[in-house]
Amino acid sequence: MIDTNCLFCKIISGDIPGTIVYRDEQTTAFRDINPVAPTHILIVPNRHIESVATLEEADEALMGHLFTVARGLAENEGINKRGYRLITNHGADGGQTVFHLHLHLIGGQRMKHPMG
């Protein structure tokens, strides 16, 4: 199901342009418009899921697929050997600004620590 008010749903449907780097029947991945590292890709389910808090048992395979897609994209981007970060945020205090579940694949430079 697509949410017509959701920015990411609009990118998935093609109503808003995005630099798509991967797409299949379950997932779309596109470059973040405000990257924090040389590689910053958002990996989203094609079906609108608001956040981690709204996941259901039936979504377990989809979530595994998101991580498998992330691994493949990291290889394609050449960041798999040196390392990268996968992040998902939940809620305003967690830093979620678009309420469509997504993974941030971030790499291509040494990550800063501590987070938060």
H helix and E strand count, the chain? 2, 5
Catalytic residues: 102
Find the helix or strand (DSSP H, E) in which 23 lies. Answer: strand 20-23
Burial letters 8-30, b for 16+ CB under 10 A, else e = bbbbbeeeeebeebeeeeebbbb
CB 73 within 8 A of CB 6: no
In Å, how far from its chain's centre is CA 64? 13
